[in-house]
């Protein structure tokens, strides 16, 4: 499946693309070139690794099949949140509590790193502090508060509990029962952040090429990457294209699935209306398995995400269906016009844990091909840290990278033919559970 083509129409009506500060265009690769590290993928993971490696003295070339930030990094919900897409107990079951605590600490470091890069590189991306997790029922509220209590007791990470009577001060919606607030997480304009990181990487000496899809990877002590206009040779390779590698590393594809995610953005709202929706101006996400997430933007719009497609088929009348979800949460917006509606694919792993590692050596060459995938819709902050961990590993200290690499990942059942139908059926069951809770 060519997801690059499947995404083409979906990404055109993006609020982020319409308001982005895209000031640089990078030429496609032409002819032969060489470098220490070749990075495949111009999203946050690839750019982060490229920047960190250049700062460590490596020569780095990054190849992006379309435009910098074209994939999930530039069109997601903009929420940078603590932790991983999976629960910490998933990590504990595999690695034990000590390593689970190390991974949790790294997820918090990822938030600090994001803020540091915004500040250091003067990236104008509308950062706002605050994240509000909300529950849609009394039972889910108890589960949410129990989760938050365990997180503080076991991991030392405190959040503010919000009970039912107090919740209306935090969110103007009758849909939710209770919640927790985390001031350390937050939200931003992800495409402007990604473009700012690209400018920082270029200033640090990284060579960036857009419109350069990698058609073949020949592994070896010196890897060779072939693109339509030329060839790149490198001592190390990082594959950071997730579901958009298009067969470049087939052994990785079985462990992730492309999932369509969709977002709508309203017209500019009256100040008085926008301020009552989320008075704290925090990012908001519910606790359902098939969840809704939303936030207000700096120009007083409501940005609302909530539909997913596990079949890679785009929902009919995307703007209308997203508007119905939005009004179900905020009935005070019956006349708000949807100005933008867009979507695209993210990669999910079976257990929703990130999948970092190296490709097993082929022949007599060392394992000099690294990969980052499986962020499972929770990667806005973690991708940045993941790139830093790859840079550390290539520089000689792989201890933190290898903590993540020890996580085991299973292929999705059903093979290439049946795994998508199987996932669609499984997600239908989880949607039913959300409705019944």
User: Over the stretch 346-380, which tens digit does the pLDDT of each residue have?
Assistant: 999 999 999 999 997 655 556 899 999 999 999 99
Which residue shows structure tokens 């060392």? 366
**pLDDT classification of 316: cutoffs 50, 70, 90:** confident
pLDDT in tens, 261-280: 999 999 999 999 999 999 99
Q: Are 28 and 212 in contact (CB under 8 A)?
A: yes
Residues 37-64 pLDDT 10s: 999 999 999 999 999 999 999 999 999 9
pLDDT 10s digits, 127-184: 999 999 999 999 999 999 999 999 999 999 999 999 999 999 999 999 999 999 999 9
pLDDT value for 315: 76
- Provide the domain limits for residue 209: 15-76+191-256+351-426
The reply to whether 71 falls in a domain is: yes
Report the C-alpha gap between 344 and 365 in whole angstroms. Answer: 36
Q: Where are the alpha helices (DSSP H) in 121-137?
A: none
Counted domains in the chain? 1
Q: Does residue 216 sit within a domain?
A: yes
pLDDT grade for 1, boundaries at 50, 70 and 90:
very low
Residue 431 lies in a domain: no
Is the residue at 176 inside a domain? Answer: no
Torsion over CA: 359, 1, 233, 58 (sign): negative
- Tell whether the model's pLDDT for residue 423 goes beyond 80: no
> Any residues with CB less than 8 A from the CB of 257 and at least 6 apart, and which?
243, 310, 347, 348, 412, 419, 420, 423
Task: Check residue 402 and report its DSSP letter.
Answer: H
Contact 34, 376 (CB under 8 A): no
**pLDDT-above-90 percentage for the chain:** 81
Report pLDDT for 323. 94
Mode of pairing for the β-strands spanning 79-80 and 283-286: unpaired
Q: What is the DSSP annotation of 298-367?
A: TTS-EEEEEEEESSSPPPSSHHHHHHHHHHHH-TT-TTPPEEEEEEEEEEEETTS--EEEEPPP-TT---
Residue 169 placed within a domain: no
Long-range pairs for 201-204 at CB < 8 Å and ≥24 separation? 201/47, 201/50, 201/51, 201/54, 201/60, 201/62, 202/24, 202/26, 204/51, 204/54, 204/55
> Are 38 and 64 a contacting pair, CB within 8 Å?
no
Is residue 152 classed as helix, strand or coil in its secondary structure? Answer: helix
Confidence of residue 311 (pLDDT cuts 50, 70, 90): low
In which residue are the tokens 């990969």 written?
371
Considering only residues 227 and 314, tell me which one the structure prediction assigns the higher pLDDT: 227
User: Considering the domain boundaries, does residue 30 fall inside one?
Assistant: yes
Q: What is the pLDDT of residue 306?
A: 86
Average pLDDT, the chain: 91
Q: Is residue 290 part of a domain?
A: no
Q: What percent of the chain has pLDDT over 70?
A: 89
Residue closest to 225 by CA, chosen among 411, 64, 383: 64
pLDDT in tens, 198-257: 999 999 999 999 999 999 999 999 999 999 999 999 999 999 999 999 899 998 988 998
- What tokens were used for 249? 């590393």
**Average pLDDT of 97-112?**
98
Winning range, highest mean pLDDT, from 150-154, 285-289, 340-344, 413-417: 150-154
CA distances from 251 to 167, 248, 362 (A): 47, 9, 12
Q: How confident is the model at residue 307 (pLDDT cuts 50, 70, 90)?
A: confident
Residue 394 · residue 37 · CB < 8 Å: yes
224 DSSP β-pair partners: 218, 233
Question: At residue 385, what are phi and psi to the nearest 5 degrees?
Answer: -70, -40
Give the pLDDT confidence of 64-78 residue by residue, as tens digits.
999 999 999 999 999
Residue 10 confidence (pLDDT): 58
**CATH code for position 214:** 3.50.50.60
Question: Token pair 């350390």 is at which residue?
Answer: 184
Task: State pTM to two decimals.
Answer: 0.93
| Domain presence at residue 243 | yes
Helix axes 97-120, 190-203, angle to 10 degrees: 80
Nearest CA to 355 out of 227, 228, 249 is that of 249
Q: What DSSP string describes 222-241?
A: SEEEEETTEEEEEEEEEE--
The confidence band for 23, taking pLDDT boundaries of 50, 70 and 90, is: confident
Res 360: pLDDT: 77
Strands (E), 115-215: 128-135, 160-162, 178-187, 207-209
Chain centre to alpha carbon of residue 44: 8
Buried-state track 264-295, b at ≥16 Cβ within 10 A, e below 16 = bbbeebeeebbeebbebbbbbbbbbebbbbbb
Residue 427: pLDDT over 50 = no
- Reported as a single tens digit per residue, the pLDDT across 108-141 is 999 999 999 999 999 999 999 999 999 999 999 9
Confidence of residue 432 (pLDDT cuts 50, 70, 90): very low
- Which residue's entry shows tokens 């995307």? 318
- Choice between 318 and 123, residue whose per-residue pLDDT is larger: 123
């Amino acid at each position: 499946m060519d997801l690059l083509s499947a995404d083409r129409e979906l990404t055109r009506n993006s609020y982020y693309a319409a308001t982005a500060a895209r000031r640089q265009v990078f030429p496609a690769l032409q002819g032969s070139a060489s470098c220490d590290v070749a990075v495949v993928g111009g999203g946050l993971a690839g750019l982060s690794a490229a920047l960190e490696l250049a700062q460590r003295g490596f020569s780095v070339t990054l190849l992006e099949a379309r435009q910098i930030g074209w994939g999930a990094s530039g069109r997601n919900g903009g929420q940078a949140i603590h932790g991983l897409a999976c629960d910490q107990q998933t990590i504990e079951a595999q690695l034990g509590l000590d390593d689970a605590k190390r991974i949790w600490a790294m997820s918090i470091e990822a938030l600090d790193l994001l803020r540091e890069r915004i500040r250091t590189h003067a990236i104008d991306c509308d950062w706002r502090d605050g994240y509000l997790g909300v529950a849609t029922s009394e039972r889910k509220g108890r589960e949410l508060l129990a989760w938050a209590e365990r997180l503080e007791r076991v991991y030392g990470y405190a959040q503010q509990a919000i009970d039912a009577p107090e919740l209306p001060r935090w969110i103007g919606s009758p849909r939710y029962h209770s919640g927790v607030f985390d001031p350390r997480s937050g939200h931003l304009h992800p495409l402007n952040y990604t473009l700012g990181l690209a400018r920082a990487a270029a200033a640090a000496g990284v060579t960036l090429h857009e419109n350069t899809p990698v058609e073949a990877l020949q592994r070896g002590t010196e890897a060779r990457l072939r693109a339509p206009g030329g060839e790149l040779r490198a001592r190390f390779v990082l594959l950071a294209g997730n579901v958009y590698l298009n067969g470049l590393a087939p052994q990785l594809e079985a462990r992730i699935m492309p999932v369509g995610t969709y977002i709508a953005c309203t017209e500019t709202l009256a100040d008085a209306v926008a301020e009552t929706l989320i008075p704290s101006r925090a990012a908001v996400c519910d606790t359902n398995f098939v969840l809704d997430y939303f936030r207000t933007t700096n120009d007083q719009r409501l940005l609302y995400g909530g539909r997913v497609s596990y079949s890679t088929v785009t929902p009919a009348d995307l703007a209308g269906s997203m508007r119905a979800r939005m009004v179900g949460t905020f009935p005070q917006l019956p006349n708000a016009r949807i100005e933008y509606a867009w979507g695209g694919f993210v990669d999910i792993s079976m257990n929703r844990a990130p999948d970092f590692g190296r490709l097993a050596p082929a022949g007599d060459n060392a394992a000099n091909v690294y990969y980052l995938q499986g962020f499972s819709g929770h990667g806005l902050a973690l991708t940045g840290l993941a790139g830093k961990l790859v840079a550390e590993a290539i520089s000689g200290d792989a201890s933190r990278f290898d903590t993540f690499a020890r996580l085991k990942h299973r292929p999705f059942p059903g093979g290439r033919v049946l795994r998508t139908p199987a996932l669609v059926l499984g997600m239908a069951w989880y949607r039913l559970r959300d409705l019944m809770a």
